Amino acid sequence: MEKNSVITIKNLVKSFPVGSGFFTALKGVELILMKAEFTGLIGPSGSGKTTLLNIIGGLDSPTEGQVSVLGHNLDHATHGERAKLRREYMGFIFQSYNLLPVYTVFENVELPLILNKVPPQEREKKVKQAVEWVGLSDKLKSRPSMLSGGECQRTAIARAIVHEPALILADEPTANLDAVNSHQIMKIMLRLNKELSTSFVFATHDEKIMGYLRRIIHLEDGKIVKDNKIDNPKFGK
């Protein structure tokens, strides 16, 4: 594994059975991401960006190749080992928020801490801190049905960061949001990236996100075709 890297991927291939044959979603992907990067995986639908994000997050396993995330080798990891890594060191943000409708904002954000067996008193402190980060301190007792789309996604961000993970993976986090809420969400995540040195990887084709990214990796047909460092991003300098 590359020294100080958060993600190291070598010759990654991912194939899915289709009918009597296979569809190869990723073809020989090579990638190194360092600590505190703010990176986007960009490409059209079917380019492989969500598949790559799922493999980095241990939600899927590679067909061939090596995948190391936060010092853990995932290509031969068991389901339980991958789940432990996700639970302790990663945060996930999804397009559809994935909030539990019967739980309040507080209870939704608290979930990762319960899974990590954090004591109740410490949980309360961490939840309130995370909710304050995303500007929802006045919504702690609200349920998702009482929130706007932007507020739901901010709750999801608070849940992703509450245990201060080293890596956050975000799949189309602004797809269901208008421009104002999209920019607000990106500014929150950029601030977390700078202040906590959290590494972020986005899978997106939302133009609104592009202006915040410090590195853009273009995928086409399961391959990385371009990898650009952005020295002067449009937003959040």
This prediction has a pTM of 0.91
Block residue for tokens 């901010």: 154
Quick check: 6 pLDDT over 90? yes
The token pair that represents 151 in the structure block = 């507020």
Q: Which domains does the chain carry?
A: 5-229 (3.40.50.300)
Say how far apart CA 201 and CA 215 lie, in whole Å: 10
Tally of CB atoms within 10 A around 195: 9
Confidence of residue 237 (pLDDT cuts 50, 70, 90): low
Average pLDDT on 36-59 reads 94
